Structure 1
């Protein structure tokens, strides 16, 4: 909304969205990670529930709060910019390319989180923020990568919106990408057994 206020250049508006999203993700994950695991995404919560790292009942409640929080956030943003509080997006985002983009976006996000937790836990906030910043630009959909975000964006007829009719395709693609990432990373990051280390480095005397 701020970008639309300041410029009519679509690329510049997207860059503004990118910087704001990536930066606030780093802040929120750093602050809320120790409290709730920084669960902002139903697809990510589903993955953790399937890994048995999060009780399924909690994952269901998380998803409800994630979606509700997104919608409240959209309304709050409208209020800050003196726009009608309740809106429905008219922005068409549909088709195989968009769905593939969302599958790729959510796949990469989940892979980044799982690998980060296993290999560089302290770097996860920065890894996620940087991944989403990059994914804005390497996906045709601008990387929603989050069912709750997709639903929230259906409630704003602004630059970032998505037509409600197009939501099912996005959400299914996101969930599919998350599940593929879970399967692949479960194999890729499996704990080595005995001396079967992925990289063997001989000590130099």
Structure 2
């Protein structure tokens, strides 16, 4: 009987120690600070600092934003062509996106203080860099111009956008008609014969 009691007591002791060790181990594991999400809203982050290669959704009114490429949703954003990465960081959490900031984009949400600090520093590195000029128009070669579309009309084998900007007027040659009269656009392209631009990218800004 004494031997049975001894063995039973030993087993109970081993189980108790195992439970105690497991409990202590679980308590010592760092709290999970990151997870992958698809349902998110930028409005969840107050006073957001946002870095984006390109924006495809409306932004919170109190956000500071720096983008690599203009878009209709980033009209008041600061531009920096060196921008890489896409994230929004606030006081106590951040979203780090797998690609352009758009609806349904996969993101990691984190509350890790070291990561938040690094994201804020990265934001201000991009934000403090002087913006590239909104418009540069040369007589020949590569150009970038922002302006207001005055008219779109047939021209030769396609159409022409009559674009006014602070330096005057240019004609943007396109193959298919665009419904952009009265709207602000940005054109990047080649000035083949002044003042006619052959565009390789047209962005609607409003």
Q: TM-score, normalised by structure 1?
A: 0.27
- Counting strand residues as a fraction of each chain, which structure ranks higher? 2
TM-score, length-scaled by structure 2: 0.27
Please identify the structure whose Cα radius of gyration is greater: 2
Q: Which has the higher helix share?
A: 1
Flag the structure with more relative contact order, 1 or 2, with Cα contacts below 8 A and sequence separation at least 6: 1
